[in-house]
Structure 1
Amino acid sequence: MVRRVAVIGAGAGGLASVKCCLEEGLEPTCFESSEDIGGVWRYTDSRASRRVSVYRSVITNTSKEMSCFSDFPFPEDFPSYLSHSLVLEYFRMYARHFDLLRHVRFQTTVLSVRKRPDFTSSGQWEVVTETDGVHESHVFDAVMVCTGHYQEPYLPLASFPGIESRFKGQHLHSWEYRDVQAFRGKRVLVVGIGNTGGDLSVELSRVAAKVFLSTRSNTWVMSRISDHGFPLDMVGTTRFNHLLEWLLPTALTRRIRFRKFNSWFNHTNYGLASSKSSKFKMIINEELPFCLLSGTVVLKPNVKEFTESSAVFEDGTTEENIDVVLFATGYNFSFPFLEESVRSTIDDNRSLYERVFPPQLEKPTLAIIGLIQLTGSIMVGSEMQARWVTGVFAGWNKLPPPRRMMAEVLKRKPPVKRNPYERENLKMSFISYMDKIAVRAGVKPSVLRLLLTDPQLALAIFFGPCSPYQYRLVGRGKWSGARAAILTQWQRTLKPLRTRVVGDNSNSCSGWCWMCLLALPAALTAGFLFSKYPQPGWSPWALPQL
């Protein structure tokens, strides 16, 4: 029987895991190697500790209503998209509200996590930690690893001939970047066009002499701002859109998707992406198109090689006098503290049952939280994983036998390990994954049942944003404030904008209600189809996450 649980890491996933343990009557001890909570969201100017943190100017790519813990909304006066300081303030509020800090041991590094000799019967782990040079051994019934996937910078220098042997300028990884001051007046080459590469290119263009952005990917650029000025993820990530994607032919959904992307600007004209491309990524960036249009950022293909002061690209062009090369090439995850027999089996999250449990263990007492890439908030997905996992530890949720879990994993596991540059390929639909884990945890709401008992709420769930509160309506951990949170989420979105109120005769709320009532038959049909047939694994209307 599981009672004592070790939680490794006090970031978003770790805090949620501690809270979920407490809700299930378990006894968590959280080990955090630094002096504070927050994980990567706790910004620091220092690079001495090698701790990965966000850069100074970062803003969330998912809105507050779609990124919050499911029973703890962001304050209504917080803006929809948040700076790192506001995210960290929210974590502190969450930790205080649920009294989590007394379960966290700060400045304590986990050195090893190993099976006990009687693991096949007990499922217990021996955890060795270090605090101020003192080693300590503990025995836990279960372990939740919440260190995430932003751990070790991925710097593929071997793929760029000459960068180490010939190039005389500076090269660094984006984890070392904090602000623009060191790049003032320089000619900078940014390698990689993920969200970070796009952000840094835009920011550097304000002070650098010239910024070049090198990419080998077809990339669609989206804005956080959608129709009528609402957050894009609130408008796009809905069960109605998810149903449409499932019903329509793939070719048609792709055509609709590309047409929507190009309605902002023609990506082919900008050299970013073609509607004929089968492999592509999506990033969030409102300013990058203007920087390309104004010439402050110049898009280039993949780098072929470096000379002493220049970069030669695969199309044969050369850019001279490059001062700095900034690699925005992502991160590797690692679990150096796990014993080799476990660590060696985790190539990426597809090596885990439902991206959480190592399937080969005799006892399911080890869970990896937050090693996911979703088209929505990773924080929300991590909390859902933690709810399911602690339910398994407490005996409420059951897992299949190891043989079945292993067979399920082998069906999805690729023949070769992918590098972080290809992480986009590992993204899963936010709604599909959340619903799948919610079913296993017994907390997925039924739109059909709600249509009979609470039509207003059912319509808001089906046509409105698939916000985290939906998963607190039923089951263990049900929250009495979930219904009100769902019905008032648009008001909380607008609240921080009401600093200057102007008259408006339109009644958008009334129009929305009439639309929902007219679409009631479609909602009924959707409920029937979703209950009868399996759902897809990807939604074109869902969004990338930072």
Structure 2
Amino acid sequence: MVKKVAVIGSGVSGLTAIKACLEEGLEPTCFEKSCDIGGLWRFTDELEDKRASIYSSLVTNVSKETMCFSDFPMPSDFPNFLPNRKYFEYIKLYAENFKLTKYIQFKTTVCRIEKHPDFPVNGQWNVTTESDGEKKTAIFDAILICTGQHVDAEIPIDSFPGIKMFKGKVLHSREYKRPVGYDGKRVLIVGMGNTGVDISTELCTLASQVYLTTREGVWIIPRLGKDGYPFDLFFLRRINNWIENLVPRSVSRWMLKRYLNNRFNHELYNIQPIHRIFWKEPLVNDEIASRVLSGSIIIKPGVTKFTETDAHFSDGSIVRDLDVVILCTGFGYSFPFLDESVFKRNENKGNLYKKIIPLGIEKPTIAFIAFLLPIGPTMVAAEIQCRWATRVFKGKSK
């Protein structure tokens, strides 16, 4: 009997999940609550509830050769680093080429996923969905969770004393779409990740002054690499991996630090990371150095408190008369449709085998796809995870 698999979400992970199911002879049904595929990469000017959001100017951080699926190369006329609309076009081409959309039920919300009464024996799931006001429940042999990790904005209010008193505008980066309405404003951007730096380099051409905070520092990698090629074509090579595994870890880290600081002296710009190299996701940006040198972006340490108009920082400095605060404090993820006996984030964080299947579950028939932060493109990791998970469902892998 062909096993039925429910795929939750039709973003990049959901699409490659559908394809992996088909390759293993499984029968996928994908549930997508919006009207189209693409997930994070489908830009809209309106902020949609419970859906990932991006800004209009977003460009990929890795080159097209690195972030394409293994069996579907990017079109040759696509640029090396893709604006979000171009990557969405690629996703559309991928779905059309492998005829994936016919397995998707659009405008269908997953309300509940719970274990079938005989789960310890058959590993099956009851999936309740709603579409056009009508609820349905169906039985599936396995589940692939592909809802993404850029939906629930994390706003650590307790980390910013006094921010509720601030009289200017406060928003999370999830709400930022275009650089409209920032002319002549004094803007503080909290968080020096890829999003924070992208927004700061865009707004600094319009705002009277942009301040960018970092508590821990960050390693910066330019898109432009050796001999004018994309940086990752040089960086992600077998010889570099061979050297890293051959020499002591301390030596390989020193070599990488030296390479990065030769391109951009992090200590000089007050962003030298306090942690081990690549302990967290590196930053990919080509503009930040020139913007800091020109003074249009001023780097500040961590915020200690806010007043009605000002921000205080850990070095004792104060920035006065701020108009806007943008919190680039990242995202969390949650599964309100999933029974907590299967996965409770606060308790189960890190308790996913291979970062995919919950430890201790009676039957390995549920997989969480792309809930990780690799040094490299998440979509490539998602493809490999789906291949492995579907083989586990099929009984080909343990």
TM value normalised by structure 1:
0.71
Contact map agreement 2:216 2:275 (CA 8 A) in 1: no
- The residue type paired with residue 239 of structure 1 is R
Match of 1:120 in 2: 120
Match of 1:3 in 2: 3
- The residue type paired with residue 101 of structure 2 is L
- SS of the aligned residue for 1:225 comes to coil
Following superposition, the deviation at residue 250 of structure 1 comes to: 2.1
Please tell me whether Structure 1 or Structure 2 has the larger radius of gyration of its CA atoms: 1
Following superposition, the deviation at residue 2 of structure 1 comes to: 6.2
Match of 2:102 in 1: 102
Following superposition, the deviation at residue 348 of structure 1 comes to: 6.3
- The residue type paired with residue 203 of structure 2 is L
Does the C-alpha gap of structure 1 residues 351 and 138 become closer, same or farther in structure 2, counting only changes over 3 Å? same
Between the aligned partners of 2:276 and 2:106, the Cα distance in structure 1 is 46
**1:270-322 CA distance string (max 9 Å, x none):** 11106x75476420110001100000000000011111100011111000110
- SS of the aligned residue for 2:227 comes to helix
Match of 1:247 in 2: 246
**1:105-143 CA distance string (max 9 Å, x none):** 001010110000000111000000011211111110000
Runs of 4+ residues over 4 Å off in structure 1 = 345-349
Match of 2:186 in 1: 187
Matches within 5 A, 1:505-520: none
Does the C-alpha gap of structure 1 residues 205 and 348 become closer, same or farther in structure 2, counting only changes over 3 Å? farther
Match of 1:216 in 2: 215
Does the C-alpha gap of structure 1 residues 367 and 278 become closer, same or farther in structure 2, counting only changes over 3 Å? closer
- Show structure 1 runs of 5+ residues with no match: 400-546
* Stretch of structure 1 that moved more, 259-268 or 139-148: 259-268
Following superposition, the deviation at residue 364 of structure 1 comes to: 0.7
- SS of the aligned residue for 2:135 comes to strand
Does the C-alpha gap of structure 1 residues 312 and 262 become closer, same or farther in structure 2, counting only changes over 3 Å? same
**1:440-463 CA distance string (max 9 Å, x none):** xxxxxxxxxxxxxxxxxxxxxxxx
Between the aligned partners of 1:211 and 1:328, the Cα distance in structure 2 is 14
Match of 2:160 in 1: 160
- The residue type paired with residue 372 of structure 2 is I
- SS of the aligned residue for 1:69 comes to coil
- SS of the aligned residue for 1:181 comes to coil
Following superposition, the deviation at residue 391 of structure 1 comes to: 1.2
**1:185-210 CA distance string (max 9 Å, x none):** 10000000010011111001010110
Between the aligned partners of 1:48 and 1:39, the Cα distance in structure 2 is 11
Between the aligned partners of 1:365 and 1:160, the Cα distance in structure 2 is 41
Matches within 5 A, 1:414-453: none
Between the aligned partners of 1:51 and 1:273, the Cα distance in structure 2 is 34
- The residue type paired with residue 138 of structure 1 is A
Match of 2:297 in 1: 297
Tell me if 1:374 matches 2:374: yes
Does the C-alpha gap of structure 1 residues 219 and 202 become closer, same or farther in structure 2, counting only changes over 3 Å? same
Matches within 5 A, 1:7-156: 7-156=7-156
* Stretch of structure 1 that moved more, 30-39 or 358-367: 358-367
Between the aligned partners of 2:248 and 2:349, the Cα distance in structure 1 is 28
Matches within 5 A, 1:282-293: 282-293=282-293
- SS of the aligned residue for 1:211 comes to strand
> Taking every aligned residue pair, what percent have the same amino acid on both sides?
45
Contact map agreement 1:184 1:209 (CA 8 A) in 2: yes
Contact map agreement 2:53 2:151 (CA 8 A) in 1: no
Match of 2:344 in 1: 344
Matches within 5 A, 1:301-340: 301-340=301-340
Between the aligned partners of 2:220 and 2:276, the Cα distance in structure 1 is 16
Higher strand share: 2
- SS of the aligned residue for 1:298 comes to strand
Following superposition, the deviation at residue 145 of structure 1 comes to: 0.3
* Stretch of structure 1 that moved more, 145-154 or 256-265: 256-265
Tell me if 1:256 matches 2:255: yes
Between the aligned partners of 2:130 and 2:2, the Cα distance in structure 1 is 24
Does the C-alpha gap of structure 1 residues 347 and 178 become closer, same or farther in structure 2, counting only changes over 3 Å? farther
Does the C-alpha gap of structure 1 residues 345 and 332 become closer, same or farther in structure 2, counting only changes over 3 Å? closer
Between the aligned partners of 2:264 and 2:378, the Cα distance in structure 1 is 28
- SS of the aligned residue for 1:20 comes to helix
Contact map agreement 2:334 2:345 (CA 8 A) in 1: no
Between the aligned partners of 1:51 and 1:123, the Cα distance in structure 2 is 29
Does the C-alpha gap of structure 1 residues 346 and 26 become closer, same or farther in structure 2, counting only changes over 3 Å? farther
Contact map agreement 1:349 1:371 (CA 8 A) in 2: no
Does the C-alpha gap of structure 1 residues 358 and 2 become closer, same or farther in structure 2, counting only changes over 3 Å? farther
- The residue type paired with residue 373 of structure 2 is Q
Match of 1:407 in 2: none
TM value normalised by structure 2:
0.97
- SS of the aligned residue for 2:370 comes to coil
Does the C-alpha gap of structure 1 residues 349 and 91 become closer, same or farther in structure 2, counting only changes over 3 Å? farther
Between the aligned partners of 1:349 and 1:247, the Cα distance in structure 2 is 32
Match of 1:414 in 2: none
Does the C-alpha gap of structure 1 residues 267 and 60 become closer, same or farther in structure 2, counting only changes over 3 Å? same
Contact map agreement 1:129 1:136 (CA 8 A) in 2: yes
Contact map agreement 2:2 2:25 (CA 8 A) in 1: no
Between the aligned partners of 1:325 and 1:346, the Cα distance in structure 2 is 28
Between the aligned partners of 1:67 and 1:247, the Cα distance in structure 2 is 27
Match of 1:443 in 2: none
Between the aligned partners of 1:349 and 1:369, the Cα distance in structure 2 is 14
**1:21-68 CA distance string (max 9 Å, x none):** 111111100000100000010001001535222110000001111111
- SS of the aligned residue for 1:252 comes to helix
Does the C-alpha gap of structure 1 residues 74 and 346 become closer, same or farther in structure 2, counting only changes over 3 Å? farther
The Cα RMSD (Å) is 1.4
- The residue type paired with residue 266 of structure 1 is N
Match of 2:224 in 1: 225
Contact map agreement 1:114 1:127 (CA 8 A) in 2: yes
Between the aligned partners of 1:386 and 1:2, the Cα distance in structure 2 is 18
Following superposition, the deviation at residue 251 of structure 1 comes to: 2.1
Match of 1:238 in 2: 237
**1:70-102 CA distance string (max 9 Å, x none):** 100010111110011111111111111111111
Contact map agreement 2:2 2:27 (CA 8 A) in 1: no
- SS of the aligned residue for 1:183 comes to coil
Match of 1:205 in 2: 204
- SS of the aligned residue for 2:112 comes to strand
- SS of the aligned residue for 2:10 comes to coil
